[in-house]
Structures are given as C-alpha cells and as structure tokens.
Amino acid sequence: MAAEHVVIDLDEHGHEPAERSGIVRWNVANRRKVLLPLVAAFVIGVVLGGVGVGELRDSRAERERSTVVSLVALPESGFSGGFNSRGTVLLNGQLTLINTGPAPITIRGVQAERPGVQVRSMGQARQVRPGGTGQIPVDLQLECATAFELEPLSVRFSVETEDKRLREVRYPVALVGSAWEEDALRLCEPRLDS
C-alpha cells in the first residue's frame, strides 16, 4: 500500500464544519455584548469614585477648617480699680480679641496666673466671626512689685469652635506698656494724702 501524503492548504478558508463556525461567531458577538457594559460600568465607577473622593476631601477640609482656632488678644483699659494695702491692685479690664482663624469661635472663658498676676473672665461668652473683633471683660489682680515682668503673660482661652467642641488655646499677652500696666501703676503710686 502506498503511503498517502496529506497536504493541508493553509490559504483556503471556509472548510470548517458549520457548527463550529457558528459557535465562534456567537462567542465573539456575545463577548462584545458583555464587554461593553463591563467597560461602561468600570468607567462610571472611576468617575463616581473620583467625585466621591473629591467630596470626601472637601468635607474633611471643611471639618478641619471649623476646628482651627487662631486669635490675637490685646489688653484694654480697666473700667474701675481699687487699692489693697498689701500692694495689690484690683481692676476690671477687658481683652480685645481678634479672630484670625477661618471660622467663627465663641470664647467661653479666660484665665491666666503667674506670681503677681491673676486674670479671670467674668463669665460672659463672646462669639467672634472670622476676621472680626470682640471684647471680653476680665477681673485683674496685680501686685505692684512683681506683676509687670518683661516676659508676656500666657493667657488660656476656653474656645468653642464651629463643631461645638471646647478647645484650650494659649496666647501670650504683653503686660509691659499695656493699658493694664498704666492703670495699675497709677493706683500703685504712693498716695500723698496718707
């Protein structure tokens, strides 16, 4: 028997069985129908995710902005004063507060203490808008001999921020050359009538 050589011509098309050719066409068409919605869902997910991340970032920045406390405090003249025989002056004064932060704040309390100096708020809360000023009344107790050092007085403020949380903030207030020093020294001078 003679060996038969089988030659396959690769240039010829369309000699596949009919069933197999239909399955291949169906799979390609089906893949396109399934792939298109998947790509669209992916693109929509990326867009929505980007928007969501942007909104989350904006929300976080807004929350952080509402918690920032930045202020400046300046001593203002006392309204009345008295003299104590032990060399202590009692004054009712005020602090002018400037809100240099980005959100409104409410000053709930003021307190400072060091040898020769005591400062306490009179219990009146003050709201100060961003860039705005407000005054808060304080009681001062100043010893004539020791109150006015060159080092600023560290004043502690109890501040309620826009998110309704209380925070403690410190600010250095210079007493030397202030209206408080002028009022106290006037009362500390020895009296001629005594």
Q: Are residues 181 and 92 in the same domain?
A: yes
**Domain termination residue (choose one: 37, 67, 97):** 67
**28 and 85, same domain (yes or no):** no
Residues 94 and 166 in one domain: yes
Residue 102 lies in a domain: yes
Q: How confident is the model at residue 193 (pLDDT cuts 50, 70, 90)?
A: very low
Is 90 exceeded by the pLDDT of residue 171? Answer: yes
pLDDT tens figures, 106-159: 999 999 999 999 999 988 889 999 999 999 999 999 898 888 888 999 999 999
CATH number, domain of 154, equals: 2.60.40
Residues with Cβ within 8 Å of residue 137, at least 6 apart in sequence = 92, 93, 94, 121, 122, 124
66 in helix, strand or coil?
Answer: helix
The pLDDT assigned to 185 comes to 84
Better-predicted residue by pLDDT, 41 or 13: 41
| Residue among 120, 118, 117 nearest 109 (CA) | 120
pTM of whole model > 0.75?
Answer: no
Kindly state whether residue 81 falls inside one of the protein's structural domains: yes
Select the more confidently predicted residue: 53 or 132.
132
Share of residues in the chain with pLDDT > 70 (%) = 66
Query: What are the tens digits of pLDDT across the range 67-100?
Result: 678 889 999 886 666 666 678 888 888 999 999 9
Q: How many CB atoms lie within 10 A of CB 152?
A: 12
Model pLDDT for residues 7-31, shown as the tens digit of each residue: 666 665 555 555 555 555 556 667 6
What is the three-state SS of 16-29? CCHHHHHHHHHHHH
Neighbours of 27 (CB within 10 A): 10
CA–CA distance, 7 with 148 (Å, rounded to integer): 112
164 in the same domain as 110: yes
Give the integer Cα–Cα distance in Å for 21 and 182.
Answer: 103
Looking at the structure, do residues 85 and 57 belong to the same domain, yes or no?
Answer: no
Q: What is the pLDDT of residue 194?
A: 44
Same domain? 86 vs 150: yes
Same domain (yes/no): 106, 118: yes
Q: Would residue 39 count as lying in a domain?
A: yes
- Residues 176, 153 share a domain: yes
103 and 62 in one domain? no
Domain that holds residue 49: 18-67
